[in-house]
Chains A and B, each alone.
Chain A
Amino acid sequence: MLLLAGVVWVLAYAVNGRVWDAVLTGALGLDGEDRVTESVRFFLYDTVKIALLLAGIIFLVTFGRSYLSVERTRALLGGRREGVGNVLAAGLGVVTPFCSCSAVPAFIGFVSAGVPIGVTLSFLIASPLVNEVAIGLLVSMFGVRIALLYVAAGLVVAVVAGWTLGRLGVQRWVEPFVFETRLHGEVIDQSLGLTAQQRVQIAAEEVRTILRKIWPYLLVGIALGALIHGWAPQDLFTRYAGAGNPFAVLVAVGIGVPLYSNAAGIMPLVQALHEKGLPMGTLLAFLMSVVALSLPELILLRRVLKPPLLGAFVAVTAAGIVAVGYLFNAVLS
């Protein structure tokens, strides 16, 4: 069954481009050079390609992650000092199975187990910022080098931002009930006691759940990408947001922070903008600001963080992303 799914996946991925060419220019007799045809082709090709990549990535990542858990991560982080703790927390934030919808109980659980607040924040920043779907899509669209730069940059932002916030003496800006919470239940580690077959089932179920949840974002992102690909004048974006504009990264992050989407929805846009000549640093900063900071997560975190700390959390993370954008623009060009 698994083998069959794998073979179908590889075949579908391999013939994706050719099928749409055959359908559009062959069967329907459309002009391949025409803008509309070109945009439609981009849309169809990218929809199938990204859906396939997503299914593959989510399946593999979920299967691998089923051997890890937030509980185990907390045990690894308990009693760590700041510094080393921040680095470890950021790294574990990338690989631990974690949904930002659980940010609040995880925050309370970490802090009441003695994990320093700055270290906990490094975990909470790295988890959405270094996104496994983004890594997979970046590899397939821009190559391994860009994907590695993205991972490294995300880790550095998470480490530095968490460490900085920890240094600010943020204890007083955490809601007091967090420190009063006593753990009385027995901890359950969901990574234990599963058979390989159960893990495969969980991974397949996750693919279905995620695709069902994000397809609107995906289609909007790909449609925007297709529009830009076919219709935006070559110099439209480079004129305003190209390497010549020193504020481009700042503006990209300013747009990205309030924008709520996910890595899969934003990637076709990044790809189309890259084709139009926008520098990679600006685009990576845009991508990171979209996935790292989202209003729903901030509203959740408000339950445990008082406004000054929440503000500092956003400011420090955004500043880190902006710095990464400028650094990459300088290094990559």
Chain B
Amino acid sequence: MIIKVLGPGCANCQNLEKAVRGALAGLGRVGMEATVEKVTDYAAIAGYGVMSTPALVIDDTVVLAGRVPTVAQVRELLMAPTPTRKA
């Protein structure tokens, strides 16, 4: 699973990354493997169709944009069998 955190490095982007890492740490016990990448290039961010940062991309699908979710919400998104585009 490839997780991308989209954002130019703002405070909220760091909070999102923190939430993702927190969720992954919690899921580590059930053996989920994932890499987290940061996407800070504006053209790349906009390319995903994202207009409000931060945004979360799981396996090339945008699952969340414009706000920082809680750790529990990220966990739900990660657990979803095929990433659902709502949350």
Contacts and interface: CB of A to CB of B under 8 A. Distances in A.
Contact of A105 (B42, B60, B87): B42
A178 B50 CA distance: 14
A98 interface: yes
B15 to A, nearest CB: 10
A104 B87 CA distance: 24
Interface string A182-209: 1111111010110000000010000000
B81 interface: no
Chain B interface residue count: which class? 20 to 34
Interface string B25-54: 000000000000000001101111111110
A74 B76 CA distance: 29
Chain A interface residue count: which class? 20 to 34
A254 to B, nearest CB: 29
B49 A193 contact: no
Contact of B51 (A105, A180, A300): A105
A182 B47 contact: yes
Given A70-B52, A105-B50, A304-B42, A188 B65 contact: yes
Interface in A100-143: 101-102, 104-106, 108-110, 112
Contact of B62 (A98, A186, A192): A186
A185 B50 contact: yes
Contacts of A71: 51
Contact of A190 (B57, B61, B65): B65
Given A101-B10, A104-B42, A181 B65 contact: no
B49 A183 contact: yes
Contacts of A74: 51
Nearest to A108: B46
Contacts of A190: 52, 64-67
A177 B10 CA distance: 22
A300 B10 CA distance: 11
Given A70-B51, A109-B51, A202-B67, A188 B42 contact: no
A300 B28 CA distance: 37
Interface in A33-62: none
Given A69-B66, A186-B49, 5 more contacts: A70-B52, A104-B42, A109-B46, A183-B49, A187-B49
Interface of A: 69-71, 74, 97-99, 101-102, 104-106, 108-110, 112, 177-178, 180-188, 190, 192-193, 202, 300, 303-304
10 contacts: A69-B66, A70-B66, A104-B46, A106-B52, A108-B42, A108-B43, A109-B46, A185-B48, A188-B50, A300-B8
Interface of B: 8, 10, 12, 42-43, 45-53, 55, 57, 60-67, 85-87
